Amino acid sequence: MKTLRSYVREHWLTYSVAIIFMLIAIALDMMFPKVTKLIVNEVIIGQDFSRFYLFLGAIVLIGVGRSVFGYFKEFTFDRNCIAIGTEMRKDLFNHIQGLSLDYFDDANTGELMARVKDDIDKIYNLVGMVAMRGMEVTLNAVLVLYFMFSINAVLTILPLIFMIICGATAIFMEKKLDLIYDDISEENAKLTTIAEENLAGVRTVKAFAREEYEIEKFKKHNVKYYEYNMKEAMALLRFYPVFQLAGTLLPVACAVLGGFFVINGKMDLGDLTAYIIYSRNCTWPLEELGWITNEFSSAIASLKKVRKIYTVHSTLAMSEKPEHLDKVKGSIEFENVSLDFGDNHVLSDISFTLTEGKTIGIMGQTGSGKSTIVNLMQRFYDPTKGTIKLDGKDIKNLDLNQVREASAVVMQDVFLFSDTINENIRMGRRDEMTDEEIAEAARMANAGSFIEKLEDKYETVIGERGVGLSGGQKQRISIARALSKKAPILILDDSTSALDMETEAEIQKTLSDIKAVTRVIVAHRISAVRNADEILYLDNGRIAERGTHEELLRKKGLYYDTYIAQYGSLQEMEESA
């Protein structure tokens, strides 16, 4: 993770300009009491009105200059913090995108959303308004104390004591708030996760009449979030009065004690007037100190959460100089591949060779490891043991993008984006695909007929995850998306499970007509894999049986049992054929 300092350093020029604007604005603030002193001593007391309009003009110019430079100061700081926030959000999103799939198996989407949005907002505020106010408060306090000390050193002990008390209070408050903001940040992530899951799965919630249960679950975390925020509010209520009381009492105390110095002839009235104005310039830094401490604690808590994500790295072993194939032909080889997740043995000693243009079918019961083989082919995970080769090269030594671009995948869990059908199909080759190619891919996936019946046809915007379409329609669009990519390897992970038998048969025929494409078909239906050159039947992560359709039927093993369960006896199947 880049440090905050490095982000700021990239914008050093505009920060320098902003600081110059701030220095000029503060300098003008320091000049105002000086001009007021001259008005009191020379005009009011000395009755010399010859320079009154000059002093009055100076006050107007100071006010206008203070406003102008103050505006540009805030605008420049805001611009910088927004730019830095945009860069930080991009970098964090890029880091998350680069993590291997095993991280997302355990991570909550809502938590990641909270980190990318809410926490980054608080962090970039730290290098914007909080940093600006912090520098302004510090510079203002130092200069005010200097000018007050130059007027009356003894009297300046009073504001110095006030500032020390407020500073100590701010440090104590920061430590208290730091723990509270950790809890708030965590609960915010949980609340976002629950909201995201329920909105995404609202149809499931309603189908199972779980509205009351989900409302109670959300309410429980919402109450916790309320309680943590109330802790924050109570902490602020305990400490803020110290800053506000100091800001109110200091000018009054300075006026009273300064009055005694005037009576005793140790200060003139002009000095007292300037001193009171300077003391009032002490009050807003004291009040700002509470806000700065609050925002600083919140930002530090968010920074810890974001840094925690940056400590996670992809578990994929990347080659320093990855090989790049001139052209991917599509042959795949598994050599004694095993995969473990902790103590869970997902795959054990998987070996097969799939030459280019051939088809392999993978069957097995749920949880037998079928989809895991697909994930390994795309290098979502690295195997615990063994080697996976693409065109004879270990995929660990190949360019990761080339490995994944080599295959077009129809996932078991169909995901469509909230966009047009056109954009969902073209995502494999977004910049080069023509409308004719999109229509052809839809026709091959048997999706063109229902798309053409829609009011906006291919420009129809579908809802989140394809809401508004049937399961079969979503699968056909997903198949069209894979076909339109024209990759040398086509992977179908239980891709026709939501289709009727007739539609599946038509798609299977279309797929069989595609030449020079290596096919990997993961399925539960015999009909999807029966024409494959080789069929693997998995059981508990191992290859229990392998062979062609006819060979496996003759073995009368697990594949045969599945066949009988789906079609009845061999005789019935032959008669229906």
Q: What local confidence, expressed as pLDDT, does residue 3 receive? A: 77
Tokens of 254: 């300075």
State the pLDDT at residue 572.
Answer: 52
Query: pLDDT tens digits, residue range 472-487?
Result: 777 788 888 888 888 8
| 110 vs 372, more confident | 372
What percent of the chain lies above the pLDDT cut of 90?
1
CA–CA separation, 239 and 392 (whole Å) = 69
* 350-358 average pLDDT score: 88
Give me the amino acid identity at 177. Answer: L
Which comes out higher in pLDDT, residue 197 or 100?
100
Using the predicted structure, report yes or no on whether residue 547 has a pLDDT greater than 70: yes
Which domains, from first to last, does the chain contain?
A: 4-310 (1.20.1560.10), 415-486 (3.40.50.300)
pLDDT 10s digits, 169-203: 777 776 777 678 777 877 877 777 777 767 666 66
pLDDT given at position 202: 65
Out of 6-15, 63-72, 195-204, 527-536, which region has the weakest mean confidence (pLDDT)? 195-204
Residue 191 and residue 209: Cα distance in Å, rounded? 21
Q: Evaluate if residue 365 carries a pLDDT over 80.
A: yes
Phi, psi of 360 (to 5 degrees): -120, 135
Bridge partners for 335 per DSSP: 387
Residue 115 is predicted with a pLDDT of 83
- 251, pLDDT greater than 60: yes
One-letter identity of residue 503:
T
Q: CA-based diameter of the chain, in Å?
A: 123
φ, ψ (nearest 5 deg) of residue 163: -65, -40
pLDDT for position 500: 61
Instruction: Answer whether residue 10 shows pLDDT above 80.
Output: yes
* Per-residue CA distances from 41 to 48, 49, 264, 270 (Å): 9, 11, 17, 5
Q: Which pLDDT belongs to residue 467?
A: 54
Chain-wide mean pLDDT for the chain? 81
What does the chain come to in residues?
A: 577
Contact 518, 531 (CB under 8 A): no
DSSP string, 509-534: HHHHH--S-EEEEE-SSHHHHTTSSE
- Which residue(s) pair with 409 in the sheet? 491
pLDDT of 155 over the 60 cut:
yes
Long-range interactions of 377-382: CB distance < 8 A, separation 24+: 377/332, 377/407, 377/489, 377/491, 377/520, 378/403, 378/404, 378/407, 378/409, 378/491, 379/316, 379/403, 379/404, 380/100, 380/101, 381/100, 381/101, 381/102, 381/315, 381/316, 381/339, 382/315, 382/316, 382/317
Residue 163, token pair as written in the block: 């500032």
Distance CA 232, CA 431 (A): 50
Q: Write out pLDDT tens, residues 442-466.
A: 888 778 878 888 777 888 877 655 5
pLDDT for the residue numbered 199: 66
Which of 58-72, 181-195, 207-221, 286-300 is most confident? Answer: 58-72
pLDDT for 575 equals 52
pLDDT class of 468 with cuts at 50, 70, 90: low
Give the pLDDT of residue 290.
66
- Select, from the ranges 289-303, 338-352, 409-423, the one with the highest average predicted confidence (pLDDT): 338-352
pLDDT for the residue 421: 81
- What's the CA dihedral at 76, 82, 85, 86 to 10 degrees? -120
- Close Cβ partners of 362 (under 8 Å, ≥ 6 residues apart): 370, 373, 520, 521, 522, 523, 529, 535, 536, 538
Query: What's the mean pLDDT in 511-524?
Result: 80
Q: For the chain, what percent of residues have pLDDT higher than 70? A: 90
Least confident of 88-92, 324-328, 498-502: 498-502
Q: Please, which pLDDT band fits residue 208 given cuts at 50, 70 and 90?
A: low
Other C-beta atoms within 10 Å of 111: how many?
19
Alpha helices in 410-487 (DSSP H): 421-425, 435-444, 448-453, 471-485
**Per-residue pLDDT at 403:** 85
Among 360-369, 380-389, 494-503, the least confident range: 494-503
